[in-house]
Amino acid sequence: MNWDQIAGNWKQAKGKVKEKWGKLTDDQLDVIDGKRDQLVGRIQEAYGIDKERAERDVKEWESRTRW
């Protein structure tokens, strides 16, 4: 699935994001509002990982997410 589809269906995608990255709060997910770069940044902060790792994790999740 590409990011445009995820962003366009953000309300539904939030649940799948929350399953994968449970440390992210509903408020944070509302602020992210489908913006990939913001998701990567919030994952970095919440999990204490570097940007490259967060990018890799999001890319992997993106490729495995099915609707």
Structure tokens at 50: 């570097």
Structure tokens at 44: 């970095």
Q: Model confidence over 50-63: pLDDT tens digits?
A: 999 999 999 999 99
Domain ranges of the chain: 3-64
Q: What is the mean pLDDT of residues 36-47?
A: 98
For domain 3-64, say whether CATH 3.40.980.10 is its number: no
Q: Model confidence over 17-41: pLDDT tens digits?
A: 999 999 999 999 999 999 999 999 9
Q: What pLDDT, on a 0 to 100 scale, did the predictor assign at position 11?
A: 93
Q: Distance (Å, rounded) from C-alpha 56 to C-alpha 58?
A: 6
Identity at 31, one-letter amino acid code = V
